[in-house]
A and B are shown apart, each in its own frame.
Chain A
């Protein structure tokens, strides 16, 4: 099946620093990738839709200057949390869309901001 990886799997950082999370589709090309945030015991909340070679589309309420998304190739999208604060601590999950099929999800990245 289609495999999506994320790196790192967990990260701890100090408040005010920036953190980059990578999402890769390992065995297929994904023109579209998605970034989600998940709080404990809650469903996935879509943050943004990322299309290769173009600007990401952010959901209402998501600060695009804080959550920078780059989709430079058909297999790689990155999410950078800029000037992270404790309230940004969460589980971040990416997915890659395989055309005419569905989204395949990465294993997630646990971010803890101290």
Chain B
């Protein structure tokens, strides 16, 4: 019940396309859902995060869609660029507890 399932494991998108990464969770006590971007040899960097009181959050080309009833959330990257090529992790935490439950990660490759 503590798991966060992330898919796909890897994704190849053409430059300018839309990249979509999905995550699903079981524990309804989760109340914070961040996405992290990690480049090789670097630590993860917070990209965007959402709380369950909204269904969508947009920051620039990055959008989180959140479906509370389905217990799913997804990251959309619009107009994907080669510089977006990285590994993306979704995560979840509960009751503002700082401990994060991590998805397995998605390696995104944007083809020029």
Asked if A pairs with B, the answer is yes
Query: Measuring CB to CB, which residues of chain A are less than 8 angstroms from any residue of chain B?
Result: 4, 6, 32, 34, 41-44, 46, 49, 91, 93, 95, 97, 100, 102-108, 110
Q: A6-B43, A46-B100 are in contact. List 15 more A-B contacts (CB 8 A).
A: A32-B98, A34-B98, A41-B107, A43-B105, A91-B41, A93-B44, A95-B43, A102-B49, A103-B98, A105-B43, A105-B44, A105-B46, A107-B42, A107-B43, A108-B41
**A92, closest chain B residue (CB):** B43
Note all chain B residues with C-beta closer than 8 A to A104. 46
Contacts between chains A and B (CB distance < 8 A), count:
47
Note all chain A residues with C-beta closer than 8 A to B41. 91, 108, 110
B104 within 8 A of A: yes
Note all chain B residues with C-beta closer than 8 A to A105. 36, 43-46
Report the Cα distance A46→B104, complex, angstroms: 13
Note all chain A residues with C-beta closer than 8 A to B42. 107-108
Interface of A is mostly: strand
Are the CB atoms of A44 and B44 closer together than 8 Å?
A: yes
**A104, closest chain B residue (CB):** B46
**A106, closest chain B residue (CB):** B43
Are the CB atoms of B100 and A103 closer together than 8 Å?
A: yes
**A98, closest chain B residue (CB):** B98
CB within 8 Å for A44 and B102 given contacts A93-B43, A93-B44: yes
Report the Cα distance A87→B4, complex, angstroms: 27
Are the CB atoms of B99 and A49 closer together than 8 Å?
A: yes
Report the Cα distance A42→B105, complex, angstroms: 7
